[in-house]
Amino acid sequence: KSLADRWPRLQHFLRTMGLLKGLDPLLTADLLYVLRAMGHGDELVVCDCNFPAASTAARTSSGKHINLAGADGPQAIDAICSVLPLDFFVPDPVHHMSAQAGVELPPAALKLHATVQSTLNKHCDIKMQPLDRFSFYERANKAFAI
């Protein structure tokens, strides 16, 4: 018999316990550090691989670029919202980059926005607001982290 078979408590521990209980595994130490350091009014940018994250992160107030390899936007947002309440003291605390004037978003982008909104709805009653591309980049430069 294995050690775990001989001690039921150890078997239970191995099945259910991690270093920190109840945390989404996407919440890395670096991400938890950034989330804990943020305060009212601080903003976090959740972006895809096409966003210039590394260069933009260098201009943020923390200088932090947190990479959640293998996670998509809705998964990252779900994990973050599981531990971080959105700031209700600011108007429109969630934005997404909108298409340029005269350009329509492709169906995949519309589906992604709907999925992200659905994910947000699991945690709070906040609606994402569009922000044009260049305003989004400008705002991202002033964020706490990417």
33 catalytic? Reply is no
**Active-site residue (options: 30, 65, 87, 113):** 87
- In Å, how far are 42, 85, 101, 118 from 127, measured between CA atoms? 18, 14, 21, 10
Contacts of 84 (CB under 8 A, 6+ apart): 35, 38
Task: Give phi and psi for 9, each to the nearest 5.
Answer: -65, -40
Phi, psi (degrees; rounded to nearest 5) at 142: -100, 0
SS3 37: helix
For the question of residue 40 being annotated catalytic, the response is yes
Nearest Cα neighbor of 47 from 23, 71, 29 is 71
Catalytic residue IDs:
40, 87, 137
